Structure 1
């Protein structure tokens, strides 16, 4: 037998690094929140408004990003996404001049809602969210193009772990850059990485059928187990959104994203604030705890991609095996309920418990994304991921806005820890709730064949 070849894993590596840059860019603001709120006098509600603009723009753009990538193709669809989000990341450094211009425009129109700094950062976050919405639809589509179904969960878990690496690198680098070069430099340096990735992507990525670096045997392997049928389907008429909304499978994915994406957003955007509010930790003090926490999520991301293969080897269909794995994964975040009761002993206890919950999220996410390519033809994958991403973004907006309001309310009462307790309760139970609704919508594996 001829060796299959390994070029598809080069593509997986590119997707991994893109996701790493994606999460580096979006996390800079949360790590600089203590510095920026002191400099500009922000409240938790101000910060929640800035963060939620990113999430809202990301949510709406996810719907169109999937269609855009289906139309333009993976190579340039992904390319334009990273160009836009890298520009958005760099724009944060110019948030004050941007805010001045927006403030003058709104003042001329007789509108004055937010401060100059808040408006500048809101605009920058909107551009960032617009571009970053293309990452996961494009990455999932590239995975469906380059991997047979039995390897897609593992490949998804590997590239999705880039989110964890980005989350690890950010606290190890951003506070140091801000302390030594200023907060503006932190946004600029991180934003430049996207353009470096773009050059490599344009050189090494091409559709499998046109990829000269791909061996014949590996191409045949990629197109195995019904993947050939997907290629034929991909050349047919594109699917309309209204058609996708008619399927319970679409709603199951959207529900899974709506209830659980907000948990990850909360961990990503509010943990630096939590360490400051609960333990008085700021600047470089938060580097090690957050690096340890997000290092734990690497295990969940890659292990989560491997876990359902255990059930598939026992004869389960891909979706049924994945759902069994996801149920067990959904139980793990319940440990987050103990974060506040045990937090008085040491800050390391909530850090480790939240790390377990965040690790479970990454395992859940790797499988949730893959349910789409399990059940839908390739031509619809990016669009369904976009619909689910919009639902997840809206859920994230609700979680962020609720957190900001709760923290300001209980901070005024002198009991901000109560606000975090309420949020951690939701983070703990969200996955089981999502799983039960998904299972009710799609009890058994059923692939879509009539699109």
Structure 2
């Protein structure tokens, strides 16, 4: 334990632990479908485009909901807003197990309103993914807001990196458990069991979380430390009384657009890795069921290192005298170089499947390092009352980028599979994955080259 923690306490890390737990559950819930996609595609006769449409529904609803999720979190406050989010997404996860009756009702309704028939299995999973996406959109706005409440700026990227590594843990636990559960008890039970875990988290959140100004478990020394670099007035009243921030005003800042473009260019890459890698292993190496457990577990274990390292990396530059934002952006440039190794995944993949697994793991690790920093640029630039809204706007952009990536992938894979060259489709997608971060960083640097905080909200 360092001297700072000894003198001021460490309760803020308990909150970080809860955020880590929630993010782990978040990624467990969203990954069940991708791990079972080869089995479900065979059972229901889905094409790559059908699967892309199902995943795109999640991403589209997630994207649109992110815009409102940030506002809802700002309005309800972190405590109530987070509970609402995780209850909704846990119910959405459980709905997947009942996709056939849900799909029958939804398909009948679509015919009744004159839209046309939708295959029952596709309709059921689409509706379930929509509910899941709506609920999961609240996770990152709430978590980033909680970090801004409980951590001084110099610790926020580390705290974000730690809680964001929950996405890696969820991604690791899912392939270790979901295929086995599905094999033993059926795919429906896998969705139910993972969905129930969210309700366990709510119990602990109710016990341990409160805003710092009302948190009885927080010492005065730690409270003062948390707010030591703040220029804004510390909250002494309920969060719901915060002054409303107008969306259109936020869109007038280059800082907003830097975050938005960075998310648009890179979120879809992570989701491509998350949703399509099981199908890639099946298409490229004929791996199914429990065969994918070890390679995916290794790959996602690598990403945990990226998330923690990404949270620490900017502190190296900050200690050298850079502002938090400038140090973060410098770190993000070096991070953006690592995904370039994904360009070698296909050319070297004919030797052994472990080569693309490791190379894609490096790219996915870089994304998590990138993510830990791009989220924290918001709290570098904007006052606390606007953080949820900015995260929501950027999250919407990232979700829409994810929709485009999924739709493009589904089209390319079906097109080249029909020609007997599905590997070409994956080659094209891996090129996009490799260069997206450098493009994103260049635009962000162009829009906000130096630290420029917003002080007029």
TM-score (norm 1): 0.98
Q: Is the 8 A contact 2:179 2:290 kept in 1?
A: yes
Cα-to-partner distance string for 1:320-343 (whole Å, 9 max, x where unaligned): 111100000000000000000000
| Shift in Å, 1:303 | 0.4
Secondary structure, aligned partner of 1:263: helix
Cα-to-partner distance string for 1:393-438 (whole Å, 9 max, x where unaligned): 0000000000000000000000000000000000000000000000
1:418 maps onto 2:424 in alignment: yes
Secondary structure, aligned partner of 1:367: helix
Structure 2 CA distance for aligned equivalents of residues 32 and 13 of structure 1: 29
1:119 maps onto 2:119 in alignment: no
| Shift in Å, 1:169 | 0.2
Alignment match, 2:196: 192
The match for 1:388 among 387, 394, 399 is 394
The match for 1:307 among 307, 313, 319 is 313
Structure 2 CA distance for aligned equivalents of residues 435 and 403 of structure 1: 23
1:269 maps onto 2:282 in alignment: no
Alignment match, 1:108: 112
1:52-63, aligned counterparts within 5 Å?
A: 52-63=56-67
The match for 2:365 among 340, 353, 359 is 359
Structure 1 CA distance for aligned equivalents of residues 300 and 283 of structure 2: 20
1:298 maps onto 2:304 in alignment: yes
The match for 1:51 among 37, 55, 68 is 55
RMSD: 1.3
Q: Is the 8 A contact 1:149 1:227 kept in 2?
A: no
The match for 1:167 among 166, 171, 174 is 171
| Shift in Å, 1:238 | 1.5
1:38 maps onto 2:8 in alignment: no
Alignment match, 1:244: 250
Alignment match, 1:209: 213
Matched length:
451
Structure 2 CA distance for aligned equivalents of residues 171 and 244 of structure 1: 40
Q: Is the 8 A contact 1:230 1:379 kept in 2?
A: no
Cα-to-partner distance string for 1:187-217 (whole Å, 9 max, x where unaligned): 0000000000011101110001111111111
| Shift in Å, 1:227 | 5.7
Alignment match, 2:29: 25
Cα-to-partner distance string for 1:281-325 (whole Å, 9 max, x where unaligned): 000000000000000001110000000011111111111111100
Structure 2 CA distance for aligned equivalents of residues 239 and 36 of structure 1: 44
The match for 2:152 among 143, 148, 153 is 148
1:439 maps onto 2:448 in alignment: no
Structure 1 CA distance for aligned equivalents of residues 305 and 327 of structure 2: 20
- The unaligned stretches of length 5 or more in structure 1 are none
Q: Is the 8 A contact 2:299 2:361 kept in 1?
A: yes
Q: Is the 8 A contact 1:308 1:321 kept in 2?
A: yes
Secondary structure, aligned partner of 2:445: helix
Secondary structure, aligned partner of 1:339: helix
Structure 1 CA distance for aligned equivalents of residues 322 and 414 of structure 2: 48
Structure 1 CA distance for aligned equivalents of residues 109 and 455 of structure 2: 52
Cα-to-partner distance string for 1:262-291 (whole Å, 9 max, x where unaligned): 000000000000000000000000000000
Structure 1 CA distance for aligned equivalents of residues 173 and 231 of structure 2: 36
Moved more, 194-203 or 230-239: 230-239
Structure 1 CA distance for aligned equivalents of residues 178 and 45 of structure 2: 21
Secondary structure, aligned partner of 2:347: coil
| Shift in Å, 1:104 | 1.7
Q: Is the 8 A contact 1:177 1:185 kept in 2?
A: yes
1:327-342, aligned counterparts within 5 Å?
A: 327-342=333-348
Structure 2 CA distance for aligned equivalents of residues 146 and 227 of structure 1: 15
Structure 2 CA distance for aligned equivalents of residues 232 and 195 of structure 1: 30
| Shift in Å, 1:107 | 2.3
The match for 1:176 among 160, 174, 180 is 180
Secondary structure, aligned partner of 1:161: helix
The match for 1:326 among 332, 345, 356 is 332
Q: Is the 8 A contact 1:230 1:377 kept in 2?
A: no
